[in-house]
A and B are shown apart, each in its own frame.
Chain A
Amino acid sequence: MKTNDVILKSVTRVAAVIILTFSIYLFMNGHHHPGGGFIGGLSMSSAIVLLYLSFGVDKVRENIRVDFKKLAAIGVLIAIGTGMSGVIFGKPFLTQTFGYYDLPIFGNTELASALIFDTGVALAVIGTAVNIILSISEDR
């Protein structure tokens, strides 16, 4: 059946960009303010679900060539690897460090190893959430 949902598609083209930007803002915000890897990944997966809703599975799968099962596994591996790197240096599991570095554009910036852990959490959340919703919508 040919469906005509031009309003939803036009709104999605604008709103998906806003939601993706907001999710990256939440993700980077999580060190000192409300936010973090979990909620950043959750809002990014909600943007991907909105794309799936308005454009259908096949069109999105053509354009986002990411296997979300592998993405979740890679995320968990990154998170555990960051935790294990503390063990290598003789500290407890999940020890985090931070330091201040002079970057070219940003000036004196605080870089923390918790950001890499958060990246792993975000990837795991994106993969799991999108995978759950796709597999729920598969059977009728």
Chain B
Amino acid sequence: MIFKTVLVIALCILALAILANLYRIIKGPSSADRVQALDSIGINLIASTAVFSVLLHTHAFFDLILLIGILSFIGTVAFARFIERGVVIERKR
């Protein structure tokens, strides 16, 4: 019972962290801040998925964790390239 309460509290804290990241995305002064906040939201989603699968006694969501990780990584790489060079996919002229 106590274990379940701890898990629910952890989920609430993760939701608060995602809300704080959302504030940074909307308000963030530079676009690098927004990219950082998006990556951090991905990590928080992974953590909350893991806590959910402990809470629900299932291992159906473990694929989802890997998938969120992959998509978040690719999104961060694309945004970083866009900020640094202004072009996402290189091609010869």
Residues of A that sit less than 8 Å from B by CB? 3, 8, 15, 19, 22, 25-26, 29, 33-35, 39, 43, 46, 49-50, 52-54, 56-58, 133-134, 137, 140
Contact = CB atoms under 8 A, between A and B. Distances in A.
Contact of B74 (A22, A35, A53, A140): A53
User: Chain A: interface secondary structure?
Assistant: helix
A15 B73 contact: yes
B67 interface: yes
A46 B74 contact: yes
Interface residue range, chain B: 20 to 34
B42 to A, nearest CB: 14
Contacts of A49: 74
Which residue of B63, B73, B85, B92 has the most chain A CB atoms within 10 A of its CB atom?
B63
Given A34-B60, A34-B63, A34-B64, A22 B70 contact: yes
Nearest to A58: B92
Contacts of B87: 137, 140
B39 to A, nearest CB: 15
Contact of B70 (A29, A46, A52, A140): A46
A8 B88 contact: no
List 4 tightest A-B contacts by C-beta distance, closest first. A56-B90, A57-B91, A137-B89, A52-B89
Contacts, number: 50
23 contacts: A3-B85, A15-B70, A22-B67, A33-B60, A34-B64, A43-B70, A46-B71, A46-B74, A49-B74, A50-B74, A53-B74, A53-B78, A53-B89, A56-B89, A56-B92, A57-B89, A57-B91, A58-B92, A133-B89, A134-B89, A137-B87, A137-B89, A140-B86
Nearest to B78: A53
B18 to A, nearest CB: 23
Interface string B50-93: 00000000001001101100110110011001000111111110
Contact of A137 (B63, B74, B88): B88
A39 B89 CA distance: 23
A46 B67 CA distance: 10
B53 to A, nearest CB: 12
A53 B80 CA distance: 11
